[in-house]
Amino acid sequence: MKICWANTDSFDDADVVIVGIPDESKSHALRKGTSEAPHKIREISSIRDTYKRGDDVSPGLPLGGISSKVYDYGNIERSQIENTIDRIVSSGKIPMSIGGDHSITTEIIKSVAKKHGPLSLVYFDAHPDFVSSIHGYYGSVFYDVLPYIDTKTSVQIGIRTPEKEEIDNIKKYGLKVVTPFDIIQDGMQKTCENILGTLGKNVYISLDMDAVDPAFAPGVSVPVPLGLTSIDVTFLLKAMARKGICGFDIMEVCPNYDIKDRTSHLASRIISEIVSSIS
């Protein structure tokens, strides 16, 4: 099953390539099932984001339409990430990956950075994932990718439940953090301008769906109250996509704990809005 936003059957013609990575082998979450997300997000996109007129089926597009050519690569295993992402970026295309647990992002960034050099990483998450005492799992992603990013032009958004070790690392590396409270205090437009002003040229976005408040995205592996609204997240993502990105991933959707597939549907809509905004 392909995501409904796929509008070409040719890898060579594509501007954006969607890749599913149904793996949660590096997760320590009590909630299991993020490996089901690539299939569920595609399925829900086909059910809820399409209109049927007789035998004709068409997606419900963002208002501006989708001008980019989008190709759905299908699913790959964790061991195939390097070769697959290498192929996508070396062909001048933008990889959009659907996980799976957040540790997958580490492997993707390693490959994207081969072509683009140090990345400005925009990391949406309820958790900093900045644990340095343990490596190679979903809680150490930001520390594990430090060799591949520029911390001065990177930012974490939505953070609200860090461990002390992570707070220490944020201070140590001088990392910019935008919390949901900051957005309320400063307003969305000012917040967005500040974030865009921080970013460098090669922007990679990683979205853990638990950055979104559980009221909007209940089906995640580690839900945390007091999160971003669905509009907050999408507004910022669209602004960054218009500025220009070299890759995007969406992680930690956990269909087993969702409510009427709301989180998978939101993930599908977010993908469409990003694709529609890519410059």
- 160: pLDDT strictly greater than 80: yes
- Considering only CA atoms, give the Rg of the chain: 17
Share of the chain above pLDDT 90, in %: 97
- 279: pLDDT strictly greater than 80: no
Total count of domains within the chain: 1
Residue 271 lies in a domain: yes
Compute the C-alpha angle 278/262/126, nearest 5°: 70
Residue 107 lies in a domain: yes
Residue 6 lies in a domain: no
Annotated binding site for Mn(2+): 102, 125, 127, 129, 208, 210
Q: What is the average pLDDT across 72-86?
A: 98
Annotated binding site: 102, 125, 127, 129, 208, 210
The pLDDT assigned to 229 comes to 98
Residue 8 lies in a domain: no
Residue 11 lies in a domain: no
Residue 1 lies in a domain: no
Residue 183 lies in a domain: yes
pLDDT, tens digit (0-9, with 9 covering 90-100), for 82-97: 999 999 999 999 999 9
Q: What is the average pLDDT across 36-62?
A: 94
- 238: pLDDT strictly greater than 80: yes
Question: Containing domain of residue 221, as a range?
Answer: 16-277
Angle between helices 37-48 and 262-277 (to 10 degrees): 80
Question: pLDDT confidence of 55, banded at 50, 70, 90?
Answer: confident
pLDDT, tens digit (0-9, with 9 covering 90-100), for 186-226: 999 999 999 999 999 999 999 999 999 999 999 999 999 99
Residue 5 lies in a domain: no
Q: How far apart are CA 84 and CA 159, in angstroms?
A: 30
pTM above 0.85, yes or no: yes
CATH no. for residue 246? 3.40.800.10
Scanning 63-163, the segments in alpha helix (DSSP H) are 81-90, 104-116, 141-144
